[in-house]
Structure 1
Amino acid sequence: MRITIATPSLEEPTGNGRTALRWRDQLADLGHHVEVRRSDDEVSPKTELLVAIHALKSAVPAMRFKENTPDRPLFVLLSGTDLYRDVRAEVVAREVLDRADRLITLHPLAARSLSPALRFKARWIPQSCARPSTLPERPRDRFRVIVVSNLRDVKDPLRTLEALAHLHSSSTIEVHHYGVPIDHDLAERAALATNEEQRYRYFGARDHDAILQAIGGSHLLSLTSLMEGGANVVSEAIVVGTPVVSSRIEGSLGLLGEDYPATFPIGDDRALAELLGRCEENRSFWEQLREWVSRRSATFEPEAERRAWRELLEEWSP
C-alpha cells in the first residue's frame, strides 16, 4: 500500500517529527511504500492511505484528501491538544475527526474524551522505543531528575525547577532539563536559572540517542505537562527502566496505569517537591516505582508497535 504521513514538523527533536519517522520505518518493515511530508505540502494523488499527525495542524491535507479521494482511508493521530482542547474549541478539528476513518491515540484511555459517535474509530498504537545496548550509571552522590520537555506553555516545563525551592536543604536532587527552546520567555528563564540555581541545568535540544542515554542515567523522569496525548518520553523512560513522576493527567495515567502511585496535581510545585523528596529519601518507594515501570516495558517494544499497526491495517477494508 502507498501510505503518506503528513506531519506539522519533521524536525527530529519534536514529538511529531519523531513519531512520523518512526512510523515510516515501522510501516516500511510491514512491506508498505511510505512517504513523509509536511502538513503544508501537497499529498501525492497516488496515496492510498493518508496518516495525518495532529487533527488541527494537518487539517488541510486531511480534508483535501477526503474531498479528492473519498473512498480512500484517512487515519488521524490525535495529539494532546487535539483531544483536550482543540476538539472542543475548533470547528475544523471536529470536522477532521468526523471525516477520519480511524482515530489513532497514543494512550489507551484517550477514547474516553471522544464523543460516543467517534469512539468506535479510536485505536491505540503504543509509541515504542528500542532499549539501548548500554546505559550510563546513575550518579551515586546526587539524585538526578531529568526533564525532557520543549519550552512551551502547555508543557509547564519549569515546574520541576520551581519545585526545587520547596526541597529540604539537605536534598541532593539535581535537575537536568532537555528540550527545544520554543518560547523565548521560557528559554530566558531556563538560561537564567542555569546560571543562578546550582541544582538546575538547561541543556537545550539534543538528539534522540543522547536523550535516551540521559534518561537512563537519571534516577527519575519528571513530566509536568498540562495535557498530553501520550508523551513518548514516558514510554522511553519505561523502556530504559527509569521511574516517572507525572502531573495527574489522563495521557500519563493511560501509559503508567490509573493507580500509578507517583502523580501530583497539575501545577502544584509543592506536591511535586514532596514527591521528589519521597523518591530521593525512601529507597523502597523508588524501587517500587522502578519495578512498576519494568512490568510495563514490553508494551512499548518496537514489535508491539508494529503489531498494533499490522492489526489496524488488517481490519481496514477500504
Structure 2
Amino acid sequence: MSSTPGSRPRICLVTPALAAANNGNWHTASRWARLLDGPFEVLLTDRWRGEAADVLLALHARRSAESIAAWAQAQPHKPIALALTGTDLYRDIHHDADAQRSLALARRLVVLQERAVDDVPAPWRDKAVVCFPSVEPGPAVACPPTPPLQIVMVGHLRAEKDPATAWAALRRLAGRGDWRFQHVGGALDEALGTQARALQVELPAYEWLDALPHAETRERIARAHVLVNASVVEGAPTVVVEAVASGTPVLASRIPGHVGLLGADYPGLFGPGAAAALATLIERCLDEPAMLPALSAAAALRAPLFEPARERHTLRALMADLLEMPCP
C-alpha cells in the first residue's frame, strides 16, 4: 500500500530507453505511464535512484537489472513487476546472469503477447501475465487508390529488424513499376544505413526516410496499403498494433512476437529471412484483388485485443494485485 496515508500508491516505472531513443521500449513505458496515471502516481525514469515508491515496474531484464537488484536489496518487502522485451525473451534470459537474477527477484513477469508465456523459462512461467499493447485510434486518413501499391516498413536499421530480407524481396520485384516502398527508421547500424542509401539509387521505388516523429510515422502507416515487418526478434512490436488499429494490412515474419499478436493462422506471415516468400506475398497484394481485403479482415479479428481499455485494466489490476488493494 501507499507509504503515505491517503496518497496515491506510487509506481517507479523504469525503462532503459527514454524519449530520445524513440523506440519500442520508450513507447511502451510512456503509454503505461499514461494508462496508470489517476489511481496511481507514476515516476518514469531510466534508473531507480532510491526514490520513494511502492512498486517497481521495470522494462528489460538485463538493462534494468541494476535497478531491480538495488530495489530488492533496499526494500525486499516491496514488489517488483518486470516487463520482458523481445531481446529478453529470445536471448538474454536464457544465458545472461543479470537477466536471470531479475526474473528471480520479480514477483510478476509482464509479457506483451500470448505466445510469449511459452518462452519464459519454466521455473518462472507461473509469474507471467499477458498484457497486450494498445494504441489510441489515429486520425482517419484516406488510403490512395492502387496502383502503385504503397508499402511501408517502420523500424530502426539494426540486425534484429532484418531490413536485408525486405531489401532482397524488393530486388525480386525490381522489374515491376506498380509499387512504392517507404522505409522509416534511423540507422543504428551505420553499415545498414549505407546499404539503404545505395538501395535508393539501385531501386528508385525504394525511399529511406530515416527516423520520423511518431505522429508522422503513424500517418504514413495509415496511408499505406500494407506494412512490412521482417524482424527476426520482436517482443510485441507496437508498429504492428498501430497498423492493425489503422486498418492497414500487415506482412510479417513468422516469429513468436508476430504470431502472438496476429494469430497463427494469419495469412500474411512468411518465414524469417525468407525474401522469396515475402516477395510472393507482395506480388499477391499487387495481382490478387482479394488479398488486401483478406489480410485486413484477418487483422480486424485481433483488433479487440489492442484496445486501450483492455490494456489499462490489465495494468491497473496487476498493480492492485501487487499492492493487495481493490482494483481501481
Runs of 4+ in 1 over 3 A off after TM superposition: none
1:2 aligned residue: 10
1:152 aligned residue: 158
1:34 aligned residue: 42
**Offset from partner CA, 1:30-52 (integer Å, 9 cap, x none):** x211011113x5241x1111111
Question: Alpha-carbon deviation of 1:283?
Answer: 1.7
What TM-score, normalized to structure 2? Answer: 0.92
AA at the equivalent of 1:143: L
**Offset from partner CA, 1:178-199 (integer Å, 9 cap, x none):** 0122111111111222233111
Alignment of 1:21-100 (within 5 A): 21-29=30-38, 31-39=39-47, 42-44=49-51, 46-100=52-106
SS at match of 1:129: coil
SS at match of 1:18: helix
Match of residue 119, structure 2, among 110, 113, 121 = 113
SS at match of 1:130: coil
- Whether 2:29 is the aligned partner of 1:20: answer yes
1:265 aligned residue: 271
Question: Alpha-carbon deviation of 1:317?
Answer: 4.5
Quote the Cα distance in structure 1 between the aligned partners of 2:320 and 2:31.
Answer: 20
Question: Alpha-carbon deviation of 1:53?
Answer: 0.8
**Offset from partner CA, 1:92-124 (integer Å, 9 cap, x none):** 111110111111111111010112221111111
AA at the equivalent of 1:34: V
- Whether 2:319 is the aligned partner of 1:310: answer no
AA at the equivalent of 1:293: A
Q: Which moved more, 1:92-101 or 1:187-196?
A: 187-196
Alignment of 1:161-180 (within 5 A): 161-167=167-173, 169-170=175-176, 172-180=178-186
Quote the Cα distance in structure 1 between the aligned partners of 2:164 and 2:53.
Answer: 42
Q: Which moved more, 1:276-285 or 1:99-108?
A: 276-285
1:248 aligned residue: 254
AA at the equivalent of 2:57: V
Quote the Cα distance in structure 1 between the aligned partners of 2:216 and 2:50.
Answer: 33
- Whether 2:209 is the aligned partner of 1:203: answer yes
CA contact (8 A) 2:147 2:179 kept: no
CA contact (8 A) 2:243 2:250 kept: yes
Distance change in 2, residues 1:160/1:188 (3 Å): same
What TM-score, normalized to structure 1? Answer: 0.95
2:4 aligned residue: none
AA at the equivalent of 2:34: D
Quote the Cα distance in structure 2 between the aligned partners of 1:59 and 1:310.
Answer: 24
Give me the CA root mean square deviation. Answer: 1.5
Q: Which moved more, 1:47-56 or 1:190-199?
A: 190-199
Quote the Cα distance in structure 2 between the aligned partners of 1:192 and 1:259.
Answer: 36
Question: Alpha-carbon deviation of 1:222?
Answer: 0.6
Question: Alpha-carbon deviation of 1:167?
Answer: 2.2
Question: Alpha-carbon deviation of 1:267?
Answer: 0.7
Question: Alpha-carbon deviation of 1:139?
Answer: 4.4
CA contact (8 A) 1:158 1:190 kept: no
AA at the equivalent of 1:213: E
CA contact (8 A) 2:110 2:130 kept: yes
AA at the equivalent of 2:54: E
AA at the equivalent of 2:55: L
Quote the Cα distance in structure 1 between the aligned partners of 2:16 and 2:318.
Answer: 23
CA contact (8 A) 2:60 2:82 kept: yes
Quote the Cα distance in structure 2 between the aligned partners of 1:317 and 1:17.
Answer: 25
Identity level (%):
32
Q: Which runs of 5+ in 2 are unaligned?
A: 1-8
- Whether 2:191 is the aligned partner of 1:181: answer no
Question: Alpha-carbon deviation of 1:138?
Answer: 2.6
AA at the equivalent of 1:191: R
Question: Alpha-carbon deviation of 1:237?
Answer: 0.6
SS at match of 2:152: strand
SS at match of 2:317: helix
2:5 aligned residue: none
**Offset from partner CA, 1:228-278 (integer Å, 9 cap, x none):** 111111111110001111111001000000111111111111111011111
SS at match of 1:56: coil
Question: Alpha-carbon deviation of 1:170?
Answer: 3.2
SS at match of 2:156: coil
SS at match of 1:5: strand
CA contact (8 A) 2:267 2:298 kept: no
AA at the equivalent of 1:230: A
